[in-house]
Structure 1
Amino acid sequence: MIDKLKTIFAQIDEVNTQDPNMEAVDGQLIPKELIYGQRMTDMLQVYEAYASPELQIAARGQHIKRWHIPRSDYPMDRKGYLKWRTMLKIYHGELLSEMMEKQGFSSNSIDQVVELVNKKKLKTDDESKKLEDVVCLVFLKYYFHAFGAKHDEAKLIDIVQKTWGKMTEKGHAMALELDYLDEDLALIQKALA
């Protein structure tokens, strides 16, 4: 199983190296979805060292080839945003399903990964809750500050409250231990007050 996981991770990373969108990391430009997938894997290992192979694949690949379906292809309103997100989830599930099938994963494992990336059981499925915690933790650790620069305080407070509402108690505890800039921590504390 370890070799199959390494192969799937390498395939996901290979696809994501094609992302034309770049992110500066330690002075180096790296494809945005490549670094996102790697951050998801790193956070999952901190969150749960012995995560199932399905959860590991879903975490690494939940944004696979995300740039292929641009946000600009959909109306710039809430309805358009939700439609875009739905199409992305389906697309990510299809790509991961094809990769896993070629590596000989069982149909049950494939179905579980597709279910995880489609996020249809967030309220009831333990693995889905774990994945959502990791998604939220990665957002708070790596993307919250830059996101904050683009939005006003009221919007940010709303986002923090919605993010917090998706997380488990374990996720909350880990989120409070993250290293934030002072202004980000103050805003998070205000949102949670």
Structure 2
Amino acid sequence: MATKDRLLEAFQHFDAANKQDPNTEVFEGTTYPKEVLYGIRMTERLNEFNPTASEALRLTARCQHICRWEIPRESYDMNREGYLRWRQDLKKFHAKKATDILQEVGYDQETIDTVTFLLEKKQLKRNEDTQCLEDVICLVFLQYYFEPFALKHPEDKTIDILQKTWRKMSPKGQEAALKLPLSKYALDLVTKALSA
């Protein structure tokens, strides 16, 4: 099977799994299962940010939140320790879901191992693809999810999240973030966070 055909088949399988998401989001007049829309946004942002991304990185971006609703945040203690444990368990869960699909589609073990490595965010700041994935995650968060988050939380918490997000990004990612079409409200918060 040609590389592009197999990649698209994997995308279709990832999207089919994410179509089971009971949570929905309306975007530009269309209602999507939340994680389907997230996967599409990740792919679009990666294509723009790194047009020559490897196949493994493209796969990882599309399945980064695969079936996330199956492990809700509320099922863990609502403190930092609970949050960190939830994040760690999610990484393993996403890697297992992705592995099952990639094996079904016919990917080799080396590609599957690379996707797992990236989903587990190994060697952030040291591995080029892991860093690129993190940059894309941050860019998608800032463009689509930051403002709704900010409207629900106190400003000091929002600024803290922004600063943590910024620290995770590469200089190239930070540069791209400053060019996002943010509202004046969101841009003001970013400016405050960077000047604090």
TM-score interval for Structure 1 and Structure 2 normalised by the shorter chain = over 0.9
CA distance in 2, matches of 1:176, 1:71: 30
1:37 counterpart letter in structure 2: G
What is the CA-CA distance between 1:97 and the residue it aligns to? 0.9
1:173 to 172, 175, 184: 175
Aligned to 1:149, what secondary structure does the other structure show? helix
Match in the other structure for 2:152 = 150
2:15 to 10, 13, 16: 13
Match in the other structure for 2:97 = 95
CA distance in 2, matches of 1:126, 1:27: 36
What is the CA-CA distance between 1:72 and the residue it aligns to? 1.5
What is the CA-CA distance between 1:107 and the residue it aligns to? 1.1
1:99 counterpart letter in structure 2: I
CA distance in 1, matches of 2:15, 2:107: 19
Matches within 5 A, 1:43-58: 43-58=45-60
C-alpha distance after superposition, 1:14-51 (max 9, x if no partner): 11111000111123321100000000000000001111
C-alpha distance after superposition, 1:125-169 (max 9, x if no partner): 110000000000000000111010111111111111100000001
Matches within 5 A, 1:30-179: 30-179=32-181
What is the CA-CA distance between 1:8 and the residue it aligns to? 0.3
> Structure 1 stretches of 5 or more lacking a match?
none
Aligned to 1:64, what secondary structure does the other structure show? coil
Please report the TM-score for the alignment, with normalisation by the length of structure 1. 0.98
Runs ≥4 residues deviating over 3 A = none
1:18 counterpart letter in structure 2: Q
Q: Percent identity among equivalent residues?
A: 46
Match in the other structure for 1:186 = 188
C-alpha distance after superposition, 1:80-132 (max 9, x if no partner): 11111111110100111111112221211110100100112112111000000
Please report the TM-score for the alignment, with normalisation by the length of structure 2. 0.96
CA distance in 2, matches of 1:104, 1:16: 20
How many aligned positions are there?
A: 193
Aligned to 2:31, what secondary structure does the other structure show? strand
2:31 to 29, 32, 54: 29
CA distance in 1, matches of 2:34, 2:165: 21
